[in-house]
């Protein structure tokens, strides 16, 4: 085998273990040292193969913990309201999230995205989303404090759209949707436990009431290997 193709042996060997079930979704790969010994190759060659598998979405790396097999991607239509737990369950995926309440802040368009008038008082809420026990997304939401009083604790077990409709009698309308591939910044990579500058997907949603008044601005940062976007065209 030509030297430049040695990395393909590592790539194919890891893929075969994944396809056979020897390496399961969320499971940890052998260390780079162990892979070097198994394939009798140097670390640079092994790392090249692993980085290629990472680009293909087959594996991911957690800082100071090693390489892991990517879980099955969550299929997600961003143009629709999303109940994360129900969506995951319908696809046979175990999901949960945690919530952090940062209290009330005054909006700054430079920090909180478009939608609210400057100085609007909003609740700031952070969520970490998990699939199969792995943290896959970080979400920061800003919610109109006067219109949605005391809403944050209510979202601990129910989706935001569901809470707004059931508890406040308001139907949220998604007015603006931005989707952008990004290199994730330090705050997000630290939260997700991945390397600084890892690729990801940024989604910003602006939701209003039926009269067009902005009630929420949600910003999602997803690990790129955890999500697959599909939009039904009607």
Amino acid 208: pLDDT: 95
User: Domain check: are 88 and 55 in the same one?
Assistant: no
Confidence at residue 79, expressed as pLDDT on a 0 to 100 scale = 78
Instruction: Judge whether 10 lies within some domain.
Output: yes
- The reported pLDDT for the residue numbered 2 is 44
- Regarding whether 159 and 223 lie in a shared domain, the answer is yes
Q: For residues 223 and 60, is the Cβ–Cβ distance under 8 A?
A: yes
Question: How wide is the angle at C-alpha 144 spanned by C-alphas 139 and 149, nearest 5°?
Answer: 105
CATH number for the domain including 45? Answer: 1.10.10.10
**Are 92 and 48 found together in one domain?**
no
Are the CB atoms for 9 and 53 separated by under 8 Å? no
- Please check whether residues 56 and 86 belong to one and the same domain: no
Q: Is residue 234 part of a domain?
A: no
Which residues does the chain have with pLDDT short of 50?
1-2
CATH number at residue 93: 3.40.1410.10
Contact 184, 225 (CB under 8 A): no
* In a domain? residue 55: yes
- Examine the domain organization and report whether 101 and 182 are in the same domain: yes
Query: What is the domain count for the chain?
Result: 2
Q: What angle do CA 122, 208, 188 make, to 5 degrees?
A: 55
Domain carrying residue 137? 74-229
- C-alpha distances in Å from residue 216, one per residue of 29, 44, 119: 40, 47, 14
């Amino acid at each position: 085998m030509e030297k430049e193709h040695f990395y393909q042996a590592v790539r194919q060997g890891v893929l075969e273990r994944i396809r056979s079930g020897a390496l399961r979704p969320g499971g940890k790969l052998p260390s780079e040292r162990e892979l070097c010994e198994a394939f009798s190759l140097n670390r640079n060659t092994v790392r090249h193969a692993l980085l290629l598998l990472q680009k293909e979405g087959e594996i991911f790396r957690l800082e100071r913990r090693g390489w892991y097999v990517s879980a099955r991607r969550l299929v997600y239509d961003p143009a629709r309201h999303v109940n994360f737990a129900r969506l995951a369950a319908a696809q046979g995926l175990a999901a949960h999230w945690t919530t952090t309440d940062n209290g009330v802040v005054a909006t700054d368009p430079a920090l909180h995205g478009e939608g609210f008038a400057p100085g609007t008082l909003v609740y700031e809420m952070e969520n970490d989303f998990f699939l199969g026990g792995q943290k896959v997304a970080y979400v920061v939401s800003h919610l109109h404090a006067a219109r949605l009083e005391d809403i944050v604790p209510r979202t601990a077990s129910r989706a935001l759209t569901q809470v707004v409709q059931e508890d406040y009698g308001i139907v949220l309308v998604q007015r603006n949707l931005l989707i952008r591939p990004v290199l994730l910044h330090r705050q997000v990579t630290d939260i997700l436990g991945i390397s600084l500058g890892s690729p990801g997907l940024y989604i910003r949603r602006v939701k209003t009431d039926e009269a067009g008044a902005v009630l929420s601005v949600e910003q999602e940062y997803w690990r790129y290997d955890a999500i697959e976007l599909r939009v039904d065209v009607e």
